[in-house]
Chains A and B, each alone.
Chain A
């Protein structure tokens, strides 16, 4: 009788110890993995985080030029908007060809709005292209409106004309979309005939007048519109 109950104590003690120890060690094993982040399986890679665009053409040189232009032309840090030809040349600190070369990777992203000689009025094709370009923002931060004039007429006249063309595009966006972000987003550059004239290389870019013959004169009576997919 006595021996039987001694056996009972031994068996049940073993049972309780086994239950308690087994449970505790299993839970603590999981707790340790939880604390150290170690699992039996490979830890899954963290998903990427939502971010603005940064595409391949965003070289340090381009970003440096853009940063200087944006700062001096009013978008970064506030102040007045826009840069004139002389200012752009000074701010960008690069020559005409290099300036244009920086923008060449935008061939699929940008659009060229063409104007009549000595005019700044937008035709229907121009309005459609401006809307298309503005809507296709994706992850871009800044929208550039770079206006030019051909070499017909005086330098002063062309400077003023390119300014008016830039404004035409800007006001078209402002009137059409009434976007409160406009002031913080759009950079205006008017280059007149003095700086970074476009060569016929740009004839392959989409334009508001695809049926028009592409000459250098026609190409420079224009505004180039593009979102810039770079984080500045």
Chain B
């Protein structure tokens, strides 16, 4: 093996090391969230060396990627699913180990190892291309760690390709010097199979160990509270189609941005179609909510009354409020509630009499007292499925797992 081949191997090894570092940090960030808490994520080309905080806006791309459905698979079977980056860790680690072995054994120019190095790098590049296209087309953002691993795979591919070419030249020179230098075909087939199995094992061991090591999440997922009081006064309002899916209660404030986002997510993920959702209004507005001192969403009481008055048009009115939510929220915070009211009654003049009536004020009060009967936490949004609360900790990575469990009534043996 000539020096040139050695240098190309070192280049491939550097690429593998880069990929391993970035895939490793990406996996570590994902794994940290298995405790169902929020953590800062690494999102720089120097992971582990730069300070991370949860408020770091530059980390948003990495968070988007991590919390997206494309970061892992089998999310319904395992809490958070199995992260794809684990395969990256196995692949890059194998490439690095292969390079180390090729250098240490001075067999880097042999056909089988150089072929497997090239195939491994091809796998890494293919995966990088796939995830790059997902990032650009689906997520609209790129995570720095992902980009780092793309670079690693590119360097690995270049190194592996140059190694293969150089190795071919080395073997030719070796054959010219000694015709019997090449191993037998049988030996090469066996070597090919062994290295192939080693690659397979390297790629599969991390996800296998990961899945086996996960704790049982069922007690946590189903332990966030239950509804205690039945709706005996029509306090809850139907949202979307009724009667088809599992009974669910969504606690929402019409001017809460998280409620809007959560509702959109439920619809987009298809879960809304599997639920018969009833709405428990809980406006975080001190005008009607005696439980808070300062209004988080001034104007939410007015909008809640509009929803109570909307009857069969509840979905339409809620969609209209959600669409203009930011405008209403800012107007409310700027103490310009008259503008909010004007916009509401311009769009829905038929609601004015009902919204301003004493009966509606009393009805809204009773709706909120229903929240008291259920001892609901004073936050929005909340979702109860089959009377069990979807924990806040399970609304991101653990959503699919938690939804499956709660849709089954909270009972699933061996749930992870």
- A26, A40, A50: which contacts B39 (Cβ < 8 A)? A40
Q: Which segment, of B62-70, B212-220, B304-312, faces chain A? A: B212-220
A49 touches B36 (CB 8 A): no
**B213 engages A27 (CB within 8 Å):** yes
A28 to B210, CA, bound (A): 9
Are A16's CB and B202's CB within 8 A? yes
Q: Do A137 and B376 touch across chains, with their CB atoms under 8 A apart?
A: no
B: number of interface residues (CB 8 Å): 56
Whole-angstrom distance between the alpha carbons of A135 and B369 in the complex?
14
Q: Are A135 and B34 in contact (CB under 8 A)?
A: no
- Cβ-defined partner of A19 (8 Å) among B36, B39, B89: B89
Say yes or no: is B73 at the interface (Cβ < 8 Å to chain A).
Answer: no
Contact of A138 among B101, B210, B365 (CB under 8 A): B365
Q: Are A27 and B202 in contact (CB under 8 A)?
A: no
Task: Give the Cβ gap from A221 to chain B, nearest Cβ, in Å.
Answer: 26
Of all chain A residues, the one with the shortest Cβ separation from B377 is A47
Q: Which residues of B lie under 8 Å from residue A4 when comparing CB positions?
A: 101, 105-107
Among B34, B38, B206, contact of A34 (Cβ-Cβ < 8 Å): B34
CB pair A33–B90 under 8 Å, yes or no, is no
Contact with A along B214-237 (1 / 0, CB 8 A): 110000100000000000000000
CB atoms of A50 and B215 under 8 A apart: no
A204: chain B residues within 8 A (beta carbon): none
Q: A50 and B214: CB pair below 8 A?
A: no
Q: Which residue of A lies closest to B375 (CB)?
A: A49
Choice from B34, B86, B89, B194 contacting A30 with Cβ under 8 Å? B34
A139 cross-chain contacts in B, Cβ below 8 A: 290-291, 369, 372
Specify which chain A residues have a CB less than 8 angstroms from the CB of B209 in the assembled complex.
19-20, 23-24, 27
Interface size classification for chain A: 35 or more
Q: Are A7 and B37 also in contact (CB < 8 A) when A24-B213, A27-B31 are? A: no
Q: Is the interface of A mostly helix, strand, loop or mixed?
A: helix
A15-B93, A19-B205, A137-B365 known; A27-B210 Cβ under 8 A: yes
Bound CA span A4–B104, Å = 8
Assess whether A15 is in contact with B291, with CB atoms less than 8 Å apart.
no
A31 to B35, CA, bound (A): 6
Q: Is B193 on the interface with A (CB-CB < 8 A)?
A: no
Contact of A20 among B28, B38, B205, B220 (CB under 8 A): B205
The listed residue with most B CB atoms (<10 A of its CB), out of A4, A19, A35, A40, is A19
- How far apart are the CA atoms of A227 and B209 in the complex, in Å? 62
8 contacts between A and B (CB under 8 A): A8-B105, A12-B97, A20-B205, A26-B27, A27-B214, A137-B362, A139-B372, A229-B290
With A3-B105, A12-B97, A50-B378 known, 19 other A-B pairs at CB within 8 A are: A4-B101, A8-B101, A11-B101, A16-B201, A19-B202, A20-B205, A20-B206, A24-B213, A27-B31, A27-B34, A27-B213, A34-B36, A35-B215, A41-B39, A48-B378, A50-B282, A51-B372, A137-B362, A138-B288
